[in-house]
Amino acid sequence: MKNWLFLGAAIVAEVVATSSLKASVGFTRFWPSVIVVIGYAVAFYFLALTLKAIPVGIAYAIWAGLGIVLITLIGWLVFGQKLDPAGLLGMGLIVAGVVVINLFSKGNVH
């Protein structure tokens, strides 16, 4: 169970770091840039802990898939970016893929 918590922490840290990357305006703003560096360091640390027990393909699929969806939602809510039907469909397919991997992959560890 703790490995899934580690993966959750990695996802949250990555989402915070990526959101701050947008806010850093090309690393020209100090505090958002600091958050980027710390956020990615924390994300990779917890991803490394996760990989002690969860297969890399499964962990990365969940990390990347949920990260994409969360960052897209933050882009929409915080940065005013538009979501069109194709983008929504694509995110739905990403979520479906993560669910399929978790439910049906023989390499999955619960």
Cα–Cα separations (whole angstroms), residue 108 to 2, 29, 54, 59, 74 = 15, 41, 7, 9, 29
pLDDT at 101: 83
Q: Tens digit of pLDDT for each residue in 58-91? A: 898 899 999 999 999 999 999 999 989 998 999 8
Domain ranges of the chain: 2-104
Residue 7: is it exposed, middle or buried by C-beta count within 10 angstroms (0-12/13-18/19+)? buried
pLDDT at 99: 87
- Band (pLDDT 50/70/90 cuts) for residue 107 is low
Which pLDDT tens digit goes with each residue over 17-51?
Answer: 999 998 999 999 999 999 999 999 999 999 999 99
Other beta carbons within 10 angstroms of residue 68's beta carbon come to 17
Evaluate if residue 109 carries a pLDDT over 60. Answer: no
The phi, psi pair for 80, rounded to 5°, reads 70, 25
